[in-house]
Amino acid sequence: MAETEDLPEEIIVNILTWLPLKSLIRFTSVSKRLHSIILSDPKFGQSQFKAARQQKTLNRRLLVSTDAPQLESMHLGDTPSFGEPSSVRKLSFPPGGYVKLLGSCNGLVFVAVDKEFFYIWNPSIGFFTQLPDPGFPLYENVLAYYGVAYLSATDDYKVLVATFGFGGTKLEVEIFSVRAHLWERIESLSDVDLRSQGTFSNNALHWLNHHNEHEMVSFDLAEEVLRRMPLPNFDHDGKSLSYLGVCGGCLCVSRVPKGACDSMDLWVMKEYDVCDSWSLLFSLKLSHPPELRLHSREFLVVETGTVVANWTGKGFELIRIDHKEDEKLGRYMLKGVRICVVEYEESLLWISGYHSGKRDRAGQDARNPSEGPRLKWK
């Protein structure tokens, strides 16, 4: 029998590119060659991510962190499976401590740990690396608002962080560029009250202005300037709380009442930065409305549903509200008194300039980067 020859590398790579990420992770334990192709080549990760986006097979998950500490991810697809044990992955972040989630792009999550250190982390493959010191200690400051973005034109990831001192010192806004590998201070707007995680859309980050319910504030990543943008007129909708998100590739605003969340309106800006393009996408009535506490909750508006982290007195209850079927309410309990949530896409991406010595599976010791992490998936 003639001896079989190995397939050419380019054919193997092309075949692997179109496979789902879960299968690729399993293949890393088959041989050192496959392990190297899948986890040690940034171009392969980019090609696989592009192919998955083209096929619309990217798996979106919810990443949740509490100060218990508890760090978990769960599937964001069908509501009935939300929070089911089979859809939940318990994670650990090797540096340890309380992990504050700042935002995510392309599967890379930017985090702050123990109010001191900033990291980039890919929960899917275990890549993580620490960012340079921004020059301000978080343990002496309050993290007012923040956001993460990716600029495809320059292939650059950026993270924006705004802080002020406990004594009420002036707000300072810094932005970090992964490509430039440095922090830069920028000017903030006056008379605005921005909070928590920004929403990324159209190469800009966006926050609601809590000093003016009729406007939001955007940060243009290319020009690096903050500016004001109008919201729809909500004066007579009978609701009082607004939350930003992205739906169908467009900025959206979710409106809910205080107390019992028995209804939800979703507005969409069909043409970016055009006030007249705001339109009401749907009004949802909930047959069994959850009772939501006003000051102890987080909202995350995603493509197919809204996730609410609601404080119960004993921990947080995650509630997923389906945008199409009002009877579908997924629930999941978490311990802790502080919580943060982000949506992320599973990917093989990592930052090549930060590769050496930092790739590691959660809970394992760092290994030679040529070996990569040993990965186990549910």
What is the mean predicted confidence (pLDDT) over 261-285? Answer: 90
pLDDT, tens digit, for every residue of 215-238?
999 999 988 888 999 999 887 788
pLDDT, tens digit, for every residue of 139-185?
667 888 999 999 999 999 999 999 887 666 678 899 999 999 999 99
* Mean pLDDT of the residues in the chain: 84
Q: How confident is the model at residue 355 (pLDDT cuts 50, 70, 90)?
A: very low
Q: pTM for the full model?
A: 0.87
Q: How confident is the model at residue 274 (pLDDT cuts 50, 70, 90)?
A: very high
Give yes or no for residue 61 having a pLDDT over 90.
yes
Q: Distance between CA atoms of 79 and 278, rounded to whole angstroms?
A: 28
For 297, what's the count of Cα atoms within 13 Å in the CB-facing half-sphere? 24
CB 327 within 8 Å of CB 287: yes
- 111-120, 204-213, 215-224, 320-329: which has the minimum mean pLDDT? 320-329
Whether residue 69 is preceded by a cis peptide bond, meaning omega within 30 degrees of 0, is yes
Compute the residue count for the chain. 378
What is the mean predicted confidence (pLDDT) over 49-57? Answer: 93
Task: Strands of 99-181 (E only): list them.
Answer: 99-105, 108-113, 117-122, 127-130, 141-151, 156-165, 172-177
The whole-number pLDDT of residue 321 equals: 83
Q: Distance between CA atoms of 302 and 246, rounded to whole angstroms?
A: 6
The residue with greater pLDDT, 203 or 331, is 203
What's 69's DSSP letter? T
Strand-strand pairing, 60-66 and 278-285: unpaired
Q: Distance between CA atoms of 51 and 45, rounded to whole angstroms?
A: 10
